[in-house]
Amino acid sequence: MAANIAFILGAGPNIGQHVAKKFAANGYKVAVSSRSGGSSTSDDVLSIKADFTDPQTVVSAFKQVRDTWGDPNVVIYNAAGVHFAPPTDVFSIPSQAFEQDLSINVSSLYTALQETVAGWKNLSSPSKVFIFTGNALNTSGAIAPLFTLGVGKSAAAHLIDAAVKSYGPQGFKFYYADERNADGSPVGNSIDGRAHAETYFQLAEDLEQRTWDYTFVKLKGFTKF
């Protein structure tokens, strides 16, 4: 059987690092990518330099993983972009900045989904899971300063829903994962990398698709709000 391979797109010191450690500790080969990546590589860890403001870099990053180990059976899209907007004039954001955030939050996610399902069609691994790191903006309504992020998270949720409906029958699993406080409010800057690592590993090991819009609370797990 093929080795378990996890690929994290947009991996930094918090979620990315904790998720990478969790999967590596459980025998996965782990590829991480970010703008500052590309430095350290070992037999089981591959670091890739990539900037997802250009969706084409997603294609080349997947190629690097594929050429090194093969197609990843676990793909985590964790990168996000936001230009903070003045609350009373959100459309003063230059269209170039809007497009840049849209590329990271939506177009590169779309390309990552395309690359993922193309690889999965010929992959024998029993568990194939794609996890997008979301937040509450897909359901909360607009929070003006964060609107480019909200546009992205809303579109991402739609993409994940479409993926489940289209590819679920083939056993492919997709999640929009969203950590919340126990009262359902957004965790914001208290986002917990370890809680993501635990949750993402559980989702990766479960052969069944759970609720795709996966709101979860640290130390408690899935919670419907």
Ligand X SMILES: NC(=O)c1ccc[n+]([C@@H]2O[C@H](COP(=O)([O-])OP(=O)(O)OC[C@H]3O[C@@H](n4cnc5c(N)ncnc54)[C@H](OP(=O)(O)O)[C@@H]3O)[C@@H](O)[C@H]2O)c1
- Tell me which residues touch ligand X (CB under 6 A): 10-16, 34-36, 50-53, 78-81, 104, 133, 135-136, 178-179, 186-188, 191, 193
Nearer to ligand X, 56 or 170 (CB): 56
3-state secondary structure of 220: coil
Smallest gap from Cβ 35 to ligand X, in A, equals 3
Where do runs of H (alpha helix) occur along 88-192? 95-102, 108-120, 137-140, 147-167
Query: How far apart, in whole angstroms, are the C-alpha atoms of residue 103 and residue 82?
Result: 11
Give me the residue label for tokens 């190629």. 63
Smallest gap from Cβ 1 to ligand X, in A, equals 29
Nearer to ligand X, 58 or 163 (CB): 58
Do the strands 221-222 and 213-217 form a parallel or antiparallel pair, or are they unpaired?
antiparallel
Closest residue to ligand X, based on beta-carbon distance: 12
Catalytic: which of 22, 29, 153, 218? 153
Smallest gap from Cβ 53 to ligand X, in A, equals 5
Spatial CB neighbours of 25, under 8 Å, sequence gap ≥ 6: none
Does residue 153 have an active-site annotation? yes
Nearer to ligand X, 13 or 141 (CB): 13
Give me the amino acid identity at 154: S
Report the catalytic residues.
Answer: 153
